Every structure is written in C-alpha cells, then in structure tokens.
A and B are shown apart, each in its own frame.
Chain A
Amino acid sequence: MSETTASPRPAAPPRSTASPAAPAPLDAERLRADFPILHQSVHGKPLVYLDNAATSQKPRAVIEAITRYYERDNANVHRGVHALSERATRAYEGARATVARFLGASVNEIVFLRGATEGINLVAQTFGRQRLAPGDEVVVTTLEHHSNIVPWQLVCAERGARVVPAPIDDAGDLDLDGLDRLLGPRARLLAVTQVSNALGTVTPLRRIVAMAKERGIPVLVDGAQGAPHLGADVASLGADFYVLSGHKVYGPTGIGVLWARGEHLEAMPPWQGGGDMIRSVSFERTTWNEVPYKFEAGTPHIEGAIGLAAALDYLTAVGLPAVAAHEQRLLQRAEAALAGIPGLRLVGQPRERAGVISFLVDDVHPHDLATVVDREGVAIRAGQHCAEPLMRRLGVSATARASFALYNTPGEVDALVRAVAKAQEMFA
C-alpha cells in the first residue's frame, strides 16, 4: 500500500520502439478504450469530441490516479509526520519530478498553480512588476489568447509601461520582420504562444527566442495549446518562462505549471502569501521558503498534480512523436475535406499547424453551425476563442473551430464534414 500513488500506471500501450523520426503509427481506435467518456451517444449519435483545444478528455489512468489518491493516501503535504502525509507528499513531489522530466527542466524550477493563465499572471505580477518602468514595453503577438495579453496590460497600466502587439500575415503566421522591429530598446519582455488556440499556427519558437535573447530580452512561452501536441524541451528552447494547463494535456482542471529559470525564481518576490511558502513568520520579519515553494502558498491542488503526472506519463507512454504524426494526418484530412466544401473558407493557413483548424461557412454563422453539428453528435467550438484582437485582425467576428487529440479518428473527421453539409442544407 505504501507505493500506491507514486507510480500510477497508464493503461496505454507499451512505449514505441521506433525512432523518433518515424514513430510507429498510433492506434487511435485502441487508445479510445482508455477514455471512458468517449463511449457515449449525444442526441442519439456517437459522440465526436472535437473541442480538445478547450479541454481534453481524461484517460482512465488519470481518473484512477485521483481516485486512488483519495481512497488511500489523502493527507496534507509537507508537514505531517504520519504515513498518509508522507505518502501524499511523495506523490505530490513525484508529480513535480514527472513534470520536470516532461519539460526537460530541473525539479526546483517547476511551480504548480491553477493553470497557464495563473502562471502568466504570476510572472507579470512578480518579474514584470519588478522590471517594468514608465515607457517600457512588453511585446506580445496578435496571435495571443487573452490570457497572454490582459495580465500584461494590468501590470503595464500599473507601471506606466505598454503592451505592443507583433503583427501577423493574412495566413496567420507571425511577421518576423515586424517582430524584429518591435524588439527594441524599451522591450523588457516578449510573451508568445507556442501554438495559436484559434488558428493552430505553430510559431517558430527557436528563431523567436534567439531574436529576443540576442538583445537580452526575456521570453515567456504560453504552452497551453502547444504542450499537448508538441511537448517542450525548455532546456534547449532557451526561453525564460513556460506555462501549461493540465486540463489541455489530458490532466485535470485546476492544475497547471509554471517553469521558470532558477535564477528568475530566486530573484522574483513571492506573489501570494500564506502557508507552505514561508520559512519563518514573525510580526517583525517573515522569510520565504526556498523555490519553488516560495510560489505555492496554501495547501496545493495535490490530486491535481498527481492527475497531471498520470496524464503526462500516459502521453509519454503513447509517445509525443506518434501523437503529433497522428494529429497531422487528421489535420490534413480535415483541411482537404473542409476546403473541398463549396462555400467553406479556412481561417488561417499557417505554414505549420498543430491541433486546430478554424473555418467559416457562407450563410451559416459559426454559432448556428456549432448548434447544428452538435445535434449530429459533433462537439466543436464557435466564437472568438478568447482571441478578440486576432479575430479583428483577420476581419472576422467569430469562427468555427475543430480541434484534435490523440484519440480522434479519420472517421470522426468525416463525421464533422457530413455534419457541416447538414448545416449548409438547413440554411440554404
């Protein structure tokens, strides 16, 4: 019983032995058995879940890891000397080690928090607030999710600094010359997404990071959308901060990760005060715990961290290269089939795409489209995708968005295409 939560076993097939260049094809039909929620009907039709960019479904390994924790090990961490507390602490810190391995980071550079949004807010309110002076600039991109814009606006308003957006082209790719011009002497930080949640654009991170680092500008990478499809190797990426959300990478909601360079974490002031983040408290003088605990005030989301670790173990066991190759096949099929529908227009045709495809259908508003295809069992998203500036730049008020995960199948792409045709019939 003592090792119950430390090593949740994914119900995934054995690790692929093929080389990363040519991963063995992923058997999505078989993997679907690992996701209990997928086996249901919606409005009398088999569920086709294509809203993975909003949140992914959870494999049984994750659900069981959380259940196991509550049925056997639940206790508060880092303080009890009793057996359960020791087990809970081991599982929680084991989860941190799993995340560190997944990101190629050191374990003391991993901060658990609620999600990518909270990670960006933490960096804005600590690192940003420390470094920004009147007239300074935080460079973001037009592709960003609101959560990589608004936290910077908040701290900039407070410090007399401003947020400047790097341009994109009509295909939805970053304009690197435009970005280059913005990385000027007043730029104190560059905040950029790994993958656009609205268009699926994969940004050329290595080039971007190199451009910024040449000028000594720190870089924050929003990995919320990128992590499930591409993973990340922060050691070789060269950025300063990377954030991800657990629920988009097959883990639970309410848990996320901030990775930051150790020297930054040391220099950044605490964000929230409370238990666990302090070394000693007196009314005269309070001292902080070491990193990363300095940034984890209060009892943490223990089962969330454990569930996230189970999710990352699962994803790693399936193999990110195989997942990426599978999703590319689905995207290509979707792109070809959707582009072949008369009256349908793809929104954004980036050079490299991950996970997401956005489109518009003549005479069918995305919201109506989403309602009609839902009745065919197909779950997609319609709207602005929390990327209002991007929508404005592209001259659209909303799009329909289908987004893919490792358990989606070519047959589900076809179901989407059939459902879109039904919507067209209805509004013809």
Chain B
Amino acid sequence: MSELADLYQEVILDHGKRPRNFGPLAGATHHAEGLNPLCGDHLDVQATVEDGVVKEVRFTGSGCAISRASASVMTGLVKGRRPEEIERMFETFHALVTEGPGAAPDLEALGKLAVFGGVHEFPSRVKCASLGWHTLRAALKGAAAATTE
C-alpha cells in the first residue's frame, strides 16, 4: 500500500473531498472546458485577469480525487501570478507527475504541489493530475476547450 499512500496523500484526499475555489466565478475574463474523454472527467476553469495578472481562478465540474485535488491546489497557487509564471509552474508540475520528484528541481517553488510526487508511479493517472492545468492554460491562451488526449 505504500505507493498508494504516496498517490493519495492526505492533502490530496482533503482537496479531492473539499475542493477550494470550487464554483462559478462571476465576471470571469477567461474560461475553458477541460475533458478527459477516457474517464469522463470534465472541468470548467474560469479566471479573471487584470493588468496581466491572474486575480482570481475558480473551477466547476466532476472528476476523480486526483483531478479535483490538482485543480483545487492549482487555483490556490496561481492567484496573483502572471501567465508566464504559471507556464513555468506547469512545466515543473508536469515533470513532477510524469517523472517524479527527481525531475523537478524547482520543487520548493511549487509548495503544496509537491504532494503530487506519487503520481508518476501511476502513469494512467497523469492525465487526471494535469487536467486542471491544461484547462487553465487553455483559458489563459483564449482557447475554449482543453483535452488530455
């Protein structure tokens, strides 16, 4: 069960059950829909961008514990950051969930995202962990939809 405990760390279980920043965002300037066609996960990420900075991010939709927790933690971390910074965070996060903590040297900068360090042992769950991020990136780029396919 040790790998399983690595995957479903307390923070992930908590955010999966009680996602933060969950619900529609009034006056959002950007939004995108994210789909994982394989498992039916579906997230809608909404953001307000002012002066080139992400002021607010919220999400709605349904998904597994990993995708909900990842989106939830993400919404807390990206507030007050510029899209370029968010892009760099995503790159580190992506390295973390695909290759593990060793491949993400800037882990400290990710703060709470470090709890996703067990995902790389479960290749089929990488898409779950990435869905919220792909969707936010699509929203910030002005695309209407993201997919993990």
> What is A's interface to B at a CB cutoff of 8 Å?
363, 365-368, 371-372, 375, 382-384, 388, 391, 397-398, 426-427
**Contact of B40 with A384 in the complex, beta carbons under 8 Å:** yes
Q: Provided the pairs A363-B17, A383-B38, A384-B40 are in contact, do residues A375 and B62 lie with their beta carbons within 8 angstroms?
A: no
Of B3-11, B21-29, B44-52, B98-106, the one contacting chain A is B3-11
- In the complex, chain A residues whose CB is within 8 Å of the CB of B37: 384, 388
- In the complex, chain A residues whose CB is within 8 Å of the CB of B125: 367, 371
**Contact of B40 with A397 in the complex, beta carbons under 8 Å:** yes
Q: In the bound complex, how far is the Cα of B12 from the Cα of A229, in angstroms? A: 41
Q: Provided the pairs A371-B7, A371-B122 are in contact, do residues A427 and B65 lie with their beta carbons within 8 angstroms?
A: yes
User: B36-62 toward A: CB 8 Å interface, digit per residue (1/0)?
Assistant: 011111100000000000000000001
**Contact of A368 with B39 in the complex, beta carbons under 8 Å:** no
Q: In the bound complex, how far is the Cα of B64 from the Cα of A365, in angstroms? A: 5
The 8 listed contacts between A and B (C-beta, < 8 Å) are: A366-B64, A367-B125, A371-B124, A371-B125, A375-B4, A382-B39, A398-B41, A426-B8
**Contact of A375 with B3 in the complex, beta carbons under 8 Å:** yes
Q: In the bound complex, how far is the Cα of B39 from the Cα of A336, in angstroms? A: 26
| Other contacts beyond A368-B66, A371-B122: 4, CB < 8 A | A367-B64, A368-B8, A384-B40, A388-B37
> What is B's interface to A at a CB cutoff of 8 Å?
1, 3-4, 7-8, 13, 16-17, 37-42, 62-66, 122, 124-125, 128
- In the complex, chain A residues whose CB is within 8 Å of the CB of B7: 371
Q: Which of B4, B42, B62, B124 contacts A372 (CB 8 A)?
A: B4
**Contact of B40 with A427 in the complex, beta carbons under 8 Å:** no
**Contact of A384 with B39 in the complex, beta carbons under 8 Å:** yes
Q: Which residue of A lies closest to B62 (CB)?
A: A397
**Contact of B39 with A367 in the complex, beta carbons under 8 Å:** yes
**Contact of A368 with B65 in the complex, beta carbons under 8 Å:** yes
**Contact of A398 with B8 in the complex, beta carbons under 8 Å:** no
A415 to chain B, nearest CB (A): 16
A389 to chain B, nearest CB (A): 12
Q: Which residue of A lies closest to B65 (CB)?
A: A368
Q: Which residue of A lies closest to B61 (CB)?
A: A397
Q: Which residue of B lies closest to A44 (CB)?
A: B1
- In the complex, chain B residues whose CB is within 8 Å of the CB of A363: 17
**Contact of B17 with A366 in the complex, beta carbons under 8 Å:** no
B19 to chain A, nearest CB (A): 12
Q: Which residue of B lies closest to A365 (CB)?
A: B64
> Which 8 pairs from chain A and chain B are nearest by CB?
A365-B64, A367-B64, A398-B40, A397-B40, A383-B39, A384-B40, A368-B65, A367-B39
In this complex, which of A367, A375, A388, A398 has the most chain B Cβ atoms within 10 angstroms of its Cβ? A367
**Contact of A398 with B39 in the complex, beta carbons under 8 Å:** yes
**Contact of A391 with B64 in the complex, beta carbons under 8 Å:** no
**Contact of B66 with A397 in the complex, beta carbons under 8 Å:** no
A54 to chain B, nearest CB (A): 12
- In the complex, chain A residues whose CB is within 8 Å of the CB of B66: 367-368
Q: In the bound complex, how far is the Cα of B39 from the Cα of A388, in angstroms? A: 10
Q: In the bound complex, how far is the Cα of B63 from the Cα of A398, in angstroms? A: 9
Q: In the bound complex, how far is the Cα of B14 from the Cα of A426, in angstroms? A: 12
B26 to chain A, nearest CB (A): 25
**Contact of B1 with A375 in the complex, beta carbons under 8 Å:** yes
In this complex, which of B13, B63, B64, B125 has the most chain A Cβ atoms within 10 angstroms of its Cβ? B64
B54 to chain A, nearest CB (A): 28
B49 to chain A, nearest CB (A): 29
**Contact of A365 with B63 in the complex, beta carbons under 8 Å:** yes
**Contact of B40 with A383 in the complex, beta carbons under 8 Å:** yes
Q: Which residue of B lies closest to A382 (CB)?
A: B39
Q: Which residue of A lies closest to B2 (CB)?
A: A375
Q: In the bound complex, how far is the Cα of B3 from the Cα of A427, in angstroms? A: 16
- In the complex, chain A residues whose CB is within 8 Å of the CB of B122: 371
- In the complex, chain B residues whose CB is within 8 Å of the CB of A398: 39-41
- In the complex, chain A residues whose CB is within 8 Å of the CB of B1: 375
**Contact of A368 with B64 in the complex, beta carbons under 8 Å:** yes
Q: In the bound complex, how far is the Cα of B128 from the Cα of A383, in angstroms? A: 12
- In the complex, chain B residues whose CB is within 8 Å of the CB of A367: 39, 41, 64, 66, 125, 128
**Contact of B17 with A397 in the complex, beta carbons under 8 Å:** no
Q: In the bound complex, how far is the Cα of B112 from the Cα of A97, in angstroms? A: 63
Q: Provided the pairs A365-B64, A368-B66 are in contact, do residues A427 and B13 lie with their beta carbons within 8 angstroms?
A: yes
Q: In the bound complex, how far is the Cα of B125 from the Cα of A398, in angstroms? A: 15
Q: Provided the pairs A371-B122, A397-B42 are in contact, do residues A365 and B65 lie with their beta carbons within 8 angstroms?
A: yes
In this complex, which of A371, A383, A427 has the most chain B Cβ atoms within 10 angstroms of its Cβ? A371
Q: Which residue of B lies closest to A383 (CB)?
A: B39
Q: In the bound complex, how far is the Cα of B35 from the Cα of A391, in angstroms? A: 15
Q: Which residue of B lies closest to A367 (CB)?
A: B64
**Contact of A366 with B4 in the complex, beta carbons under 8 Å:** no
- In the complex, chain A residues whose CB is within 8 Å of the CB of B38: 383-384
- In the complex, chain A residues whose CB is within 8 Å of the CB of B65: 365, 368, 427
B44 to chain A, nearest CB (A): 13
- In the complex, chain B residues whose CB is within 8 Å of the CB of A366: 39, 64
**Contact of B41 with A397 in the complex, beta carbons under 8 Å:** yes
In this complex, which of A366, A375, A398 has the most chain B Cβ atoms within 10 angstroms of its Cβ? A398
A359 to chain B, nearest CB (A): 15
- In the complex, chain B residues whose CB is within 8 Å of the CB of A372: 4
- In the complex, chain A residues whose CB is within 8 Å of the CB of B41: 367, 397-398
